[in-house]
Homo-oligomer: A and B are copies of this chain.
């Protein structure tokens, strides 16, 4: 069983979808990643920053899931990062209504002593300078470093981002970001170009169209589970990443064969996350539900054809 360290946002989200809207609820990349990974029973810790307005109950809830929050700095006279967004009828599209960086603007991450020997490091979507600071604080390189990022950092801090990319084993980005980063339209070619930048493994997330895992000449595809209703897509990508690295950490096996299983688990967890607002479904999810859904993934994708 590996020790997992996660750096990312812990935040307030206010979400509006065609099915309803929320006030400020618990959100943030590290929150979704940590909750998702917690279903694999790994020892994990979050590095983040929140304001004095952040409810202690949220941190206690994470602690109950065996997520160490000693690396979550609390700035008493500051305000927690807040994001508000509204989804279109086509949930693939959303408008950001509010982004208040607040305490995140001056975030100076500190790796707790008891996580300096982490085996698995998940760099959630954040300023690449913050991601690099965490990498540099860990004396012995972790077994696996996984990076999530987005087009905003490609547009504004590309040099710093490229330095981080060089130091990662796995990059997980969406199809448009892969195209932007590589300059290639074909995702196969994009993955080839990105592998030359550093990461040996490239995961391209296509939302409701599933995710592709590339390594050298190999490619594996994890579909998204076709759902009757997608209620709230917020955090689905982070939940996917959390399921991916959580499964790898729990099995301590980073072979390509095991990464296949890990992307299936990522897709599995993400399919639950979108069923309710925010982190609600992730908090209540049981081991049996995950196993049942795994059976659905098998039925969805597995076939028998004899080669002639």
- A223, B206: Cα distance in complex, Å: 13
A308 within 8 A of partner (CB): yes
Residues of B within 8 A of A304 (CB): 257, 261
Among listed A69-77, A119-127, A292-300, interface-contacting one: A292-300
Residues of B within 8 A of A206 (CB): 209
A89-B185, A291-B308 known; A221+B212 contact, CB < 8 A: no
Contact A261 B303 (CB under 8 A): yes
**Cβ contacts A83-113/B at 8 Å (1 or 0 each):** 0000001100000000000000000000000
Chain A interface bracket (under 10, 10 to 19, 20 to 34, 35 or more): 35 or more
Not counting A210-B223, A221-B301, A301-B303, a sample of 13 additional A-B residue pairs whose C-beta atoms are within 8 angstroms of each other reads A90-B185, A186-B229, A186-B230, A219-B226, A220-B301, A223-B223, A261-B305, A264-B305, A291-B307, A294-B307, A295-B307, A301-B301, A302-B302
Give chain B nearest CB distance to A275 CB in angstroms: 13
Residues of B within 8 A of A226 (CB): 187-188, 212, 219, 221
Contact A220 B303 (CB under 8 A): yes
Residues of B within 8 A of A300 (CB): 219-221
- A81, B263: Cα distance in complex, Å: 47
A228 within 8 A of partner (CB): yes
Give chain B nearest CB distance to A153 CB in angstroms: 24
- Chain A residues near B (Cβ < 8 Å): 89-90, 185-189, 206, 209-210, 212, 218-221, 223, 226-230, 257, 260-261, 264, 287, 291, 294-295, 298-305, 307-308
- A123, B261: Cα distance in complex, Å: 40
Residues of B within 8 A of A223 (CB): 210, 221, 223
Closest residue of chain B to A230 (Cβ to Cβ) is B186
Give chain B nearest CB distance to A109 CB in angstroms: 34
Closest residue of chain B to A227 (Cβ to Cβ) is B188
Give chain B nearest CB distance to A287 CB in angstroms: 8
Contact A189 B291 (CB under 8 A): no
